[in-house]
């Protein structure tokens, strides 16, 4: 496939900037955006540049705006002409292409920003309020900050938050049907589809099930403290609470994924955030096999090689993927 020119990438990045701020920017839109960012390392870098610039341009007067554009242009290397174009594209996004979306955000004083990581890439982020976020591989979160609130949407993956507490501006993380509110806290959130786990390493959090599905029992709000692990499964009537050591909760930051009695499908989905070759479960009866243990993200192949000794399955390694199938079924061709 022919590589895009830098100015074309800027235009596409600006277009994604608009799409991700539309009210229905979930699911397929986010997945397509992630696919685009993974195609070329320049895509994510350019998107972040446009994202940063657009966010800053929206709150400046004309004189300051022109100064900012010049400052970004001076910092450009090795292709200086794309940054003025990026500035123009980002400004056009704020004022024209994304007019109704941007207007509602800025009119209400809400500033939004998208952060993402690539497969096998962890990132450390400092949010505008000083909160520290460690973002796991292949993860995406969007911040919505205003004078009265700090909201973070985790659309997929994992993140560890060390929150700067502010009574006047609650810090809330939304992960699917789960809402986590900080009470002076450090905590980890992992979202796999609609399944969510929250591990508290310091302080306390309030966790609420926001799913208002008719007929579902409402579990109310849980308040949990350091050393506790909360698991949410949309197919269960309530959230479950267990215990976890702080070093287990953040083991992924040191190349170790920790699982405690979790379905094999969840394990594989999280391994795919770190694996160079996608892993697939071919037989549905393997999905619900329960797994507890530690997997090193730099030794996934070794773990796969030993897996048939633990479960009745077959591992078929191909050039571009790995397939897990039921050992009692004939190999798929």
* pLDDT tens, residue by residue, 220-234: 789 999 999 999 999
In this predicted structure, what is the pLDDT of residue 3?
62
In this predicted structure, what is the pLDDT of residue 238?
84
In this predicted structure, what is the pLDDT of residue 235?
86
Alpha-carbon gap, residue 86 to 7, rounded angstroms: 8
Q: Burial, 41: exposed, middle or buried (Cβ in 10 Å; 0-12, 13-18, 19+)?
A: exposed
In this predicted structure, what is the pLDDT of residue 214?
55
The domain defined by 108-252 carries CATH number 3.20.20.70: no
Whether residue 71 is predicted with pLDDT greater than 70 in this model: the reply is no
Mean pLDDT of 16-24: 69
Mean pLDDT of the chain: 81
Q: Please state, for a pLDDT cut of 90, what percent of the chain lies above it.
A: 53
Whether the model clears a pTM of 0.75, i.e. scores above it, the answer is no
Whether residue 309 is predicted with pLDDT greater than 70 in this model: the reply is yes
Alpha-carbon gap, residue 158 to 274, rounded angstroms: 12
* pLDDT tens, residue by residue, 231-249: 999 988 789 999 999 999 9
In this predicted structure, what is the pLDDT of residue 57?
55
Alpha-carbon gap, residue 259 to 249, rounded angstroms: 10
Question: Cβ distance 313 to 306 under 8 Å?
Answer: no
Whether residue 124 is predicted with pLDDT greater than 50 in this model: the reply is yes
Q: Of 15, 222, 52, 303, which Cα lies nearest the Cα of 231?
A: 222
Whether residue 61 is predicted with pLDDT greater than 70 in this model: the reply is no
CATH code for residues 255-326: 3.55.50.30
Alpha-carbon gap, residue 302 to 304, rounded angstroms: 5
Alpha-carbon gap, residue 192 to 172, rounded angstroms: 19
* pLDDT tens, residue by residue, 167-214: 889 999 999 999 999 988 899 999 999 999 999 999 999 999 987 665
Q: Is 199 helix (H, G, I), strand (E, B) or coil?
A: strand
- Within this chain, domains 108-252 and 255-326 share the same CATH topology: no
Alpha-carbon gap, residue 328 to 235, rounded angstroms: 28
In this predicted structure, what is the pLDDT of residue 115?
93
Q: pLDDT: is 44 or 311 the higher one?
A: 311
Mean pLDDT of 125-140: 94
Question: How is the chain split into domains, by residue range?
Answer: 1-107, 108-252, 255-326
In this predicted structure, what is the pLDDT of residue 78?
43
Alpha-carbon gap, residue 243 to 97, rounded angstroms: 48
In this predicted structure, what is the pLDDT of residue 275?
95
In this predicted structure, what is the pLDDT of residue 27?
62
């Amino acid at each position: 496939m022919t590589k895009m020119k830098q100015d074309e990438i800027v235009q596409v990045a600006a277009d994604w900037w608009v799409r991700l701020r539309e009210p229905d920017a979930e699911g397929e839109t986010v997945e397509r955006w992630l696919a685009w960012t993974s195609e070329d390392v320049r895509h994510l870098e350019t998107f972040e540049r446009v994202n940063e610039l657009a966010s800053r341009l929206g709150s400046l007067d004309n004189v300051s705006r022109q100064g900012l554009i010049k400052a970004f242009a001076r910092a450009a290397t090795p292709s200086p002409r794309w940054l003025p174009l990026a500035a123009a594209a980002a400004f056009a996004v704020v004022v024209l292409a994304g007019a109704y979306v941007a207007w509602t955000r800025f009119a209400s004083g809400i500033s939004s920003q998208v952060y993402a990581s690539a497969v096998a890439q962890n990132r450390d982020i400092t949010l505008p309020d000083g909160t520290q976020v460690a973002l796991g591989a292949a993860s995406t979160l969007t911040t919505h900050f205003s004078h009265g609130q700090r909201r973070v949407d985790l659309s997929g993956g994992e993140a560890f938050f060390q929150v700067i507490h502010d009574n006047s501006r609650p810090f809330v993380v939304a992960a699917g049907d789960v809402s986590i509110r900080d009470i002076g806290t450090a905590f980890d959130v992992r979202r796999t589809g609609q399944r969510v786990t929250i591990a508290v390493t310091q302080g306390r959090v309030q966790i609420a099930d926001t799913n208002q599905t008719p007929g579902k029992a409402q579990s109310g709000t849980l308040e949990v403290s350091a050393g506790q692990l909360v698991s949410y499964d949309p197919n269960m009537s309530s959230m479950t609470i267990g215990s976890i050591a702080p070093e287990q909760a953040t083991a992924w930051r040191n190349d170790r994924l920790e699982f405690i009695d979790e379905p094999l499908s969840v394990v594989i989905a999280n391994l795919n955030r770190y694996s160079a070759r996608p892993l697939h479960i071919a037989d549905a009866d393997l999905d619900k096999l329960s797994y507890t243990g530690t997997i090193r993200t730099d030794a996934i192949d070794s773990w796969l090689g030993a897996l048939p000794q633990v479960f009745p399955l077959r591992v078929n390694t191909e050039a571009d993927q790995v397939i897990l199938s039921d050992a009692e079924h004939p190999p798929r061709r």
